[in-house]
Amino acid sequence: MIRQLTRLEADDPSFLPLPLRAHGFPYLDPYWCWIVEHEGRAIALIVCSFAHGMLVFWRILSVPEAPSVFRTWFLDSLPQLLSNARQRGCVGYLTMLEDRHPACVKLARIVAKTGGVLIPFVGTLGAALIPPP
């Protein structure tokens, strides 16, 4: 089951299992985050944002106990997540993929099979806090 993260859950650091807390952001915008649950327990966190009509995938995290096969939870959740994003005004999605990560390779195949474009690059994504005035 996939559902949107609630504001209460986003504000409660103890709600998410430890592996899902390593999302790398100062806070989560629950409007653009989804939780994947299995047997009433959060097993995955999908952190996204909205940018110029595109759903941007930033993190796709799961607990070690989550089903080890990527297809088990992510591929089953993706249609519902994309449908929800379309209802919010997204016309496409964007993600950055690692060439050697099995889950990224599978997501790249989805992008290619659905007529998307894969643009290879060599580089690093940088992120920093805005300094105070």
More confident residue, 75 or 16: 16
Tokens of 74: 């992510």
Give me the domain span that covers residue 89: 2-113
How many degrees, rounded to 5, is the angle at CA 93 between CA 90 and CA 97? 160
Q: Is residue 90 part of a domain?
A: yes
The pLDDT of residue 68 is: 60
pTM, entire model: 0.86
Q: In what order do the strands lie in the sheet with 2-4?
A: 2-4, 33-38, 41-51, 54-62, 92-95
Q: Is residue 67 part of a domain?
A: yes
pLDDT 10s digits, 38-87: 888 888 999 999 999 999 999 988 888 776 645 578 888 889 999 999 99
Residue 36 has pLDDT above 70, yes or no: yes
Q: Is residue 20 part of a domain?
A: yes
CATH number, domain with residue 78: 3.40.630.30
Domain count, the chain: 1
The pLDDT confidence band at residue 91, using thresholds 50, 70 and 90, is very high
Q: Is residue 38 part of a domain?
A: yes
